[in-house]
Amino acid sequence: EIVLTQSPATLSLSPGERATLSCRANQTISHFLAWYQQKPGQAPRLVIYDASNRATGIPARFSGSGSGTDFTLTISNIEPEDFAVYYCHQRGAWPGTFGHGTRLDIK
């Protein structure tokens, strides 16, 4: 199965800064990658699907890019509500698998 490696494990930034989160697959998955945001005690929330498409209701400061094996989630001008754990998830190969997450902390 596809292994997704997320880096860094923790990212400490201040509101207003730019966050760059990485997800790397051990085999090519074309553009079939999503990003979820999860806050404590809540379910994951879909943020980006198919590498670069924002899900419904997601602010424009969230953007995704990449294809093949390397993907990036960028949050420009971080807002206080953006501090959470972010997971990547691939549907390009059977079975679908998730990364272990990047925690975005307030610096």
Partner 1 sequence: QLQLQESGPGLVKPSETMSLTCSVSGGSISSSGHYWGWVRQSPGKGLEWIGSIYYTGITYFNPSLKSRVSISIDTSKNQFSLTVRSVTAADTATYFCARDVFLPPPPNYFDPWGQGTLVIVSS
Q: Which residues bind partner 1 (CB under 8 A)?
A: 34, 42-46, 49, 55, 87, 89-101
What is the gyration radius of the CA atoms in the chain, in angstroms? 13
Closer CB to partner 1, residue 39 or residue 107?
39
- Whichever of 49 and 83 has its CB closer to partner 1, that residue is 49
What is the closest distance, in whole angstroms, from the C-beta atom of residue 33 to partner 1 in the complex?
9
Specify the amino acid at residue 78: I
By C-beta, is 29 or 75 nearer to partner 1?
A: 29
Q: Is the CB of residue 95 less than 8 Å from the CB of residue 3? A: no
